[in-house]
């Protein structure tokens, strides 16, 4: 095998094509997770009404949470809860959440699951497994190699030296401007 920019660029890109596609999709989705989050896609939702306790401080007690979980036979699946603003969120195992307005007692019980393929690619993007972190770091270095070898593949009037440096400089300026203006 001849070691030149074109061959290195091509072969590393071939090897990592699956991860490039997976990280690209999951990165786009993570950017828009407020609108749609395939790791927690609600496939069943039920409007609920609960009786609120007389003492508002009781809302935060595990005893109260377990008592409302009994209504749906979820007391053995209790995984945690929090109160944020006027909303009580109770999390249960198997991706079940209960969101209740603490003023009205109205809310939703949602059963969630991962969207096939997309939800799983997001797991790859967010995984903290040590093996996966090292593999992702190697992938990041490979992406740098793909980027730098790609700069010098083309010869002639469309080469990096003649034309490409202007586009590359513009591409580098966008993230720098974003950091200056919004960070």
Show me where the domains of the chain are located: 5-35+117-182, 40-114
Alpha carbon separation from 63 to 55, 66, 71, 135, 145 (Å, rounded): 13, 5, 13, 44, 56
pLDDT of residue 114: 81
pLDDT, tens digit (0-9, with 9 covering 90-100), for 106-122: 999 999 888 888 777 78
Out of 7-11, 114-118, 134-138, 172-176, least confident range? 114-118
Report percent pLDDT > 70 for the chain. Answer: 99
Q: Whole-prediction pTM value? A: 0.61
User: Is residue 43 classed as helix, strand or coil in its secondary structure?
Assistant: strand
């Amino acid at each position: 095998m001849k070691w030149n920019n074109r061959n290195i660029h091509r072969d590393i890109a071939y090897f990592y094509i699956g991860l490039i596609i997976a990280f690209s999709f999951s990165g786009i989705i993570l950017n828009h997770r407020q609108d749609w989050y395939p790791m927690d896609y609600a496939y069943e939702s039920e409007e609920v009404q609960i009786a609120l306790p007389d003492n508002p401080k009781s809302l935060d007690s595990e005893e109260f949470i377990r008592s409302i979980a009994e209504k749906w036979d979820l007391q053995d699946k209790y995984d945690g809860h929090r109160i944020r603003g006027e909303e009580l969120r109770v999390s249960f195992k198997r991706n079940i959440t209960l969101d209740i307005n603490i003023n009205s007692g109205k809310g939703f019980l949602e059963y969630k699951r991962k969207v096939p393929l997309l939800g799983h690619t997001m797991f790859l993007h967010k995984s903290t497994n040590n093996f996966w972190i090292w593999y992702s770091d190697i992938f990041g270095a490979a992406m740098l190699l793909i980027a730098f070898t790609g700069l010098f593949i083309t010869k002639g009037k469309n080469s990096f030296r003649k034309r490409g440096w202007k586009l590359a400089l513009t591409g580098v300026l966008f993230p720098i401007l974003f950091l200056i203006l919004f960070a």
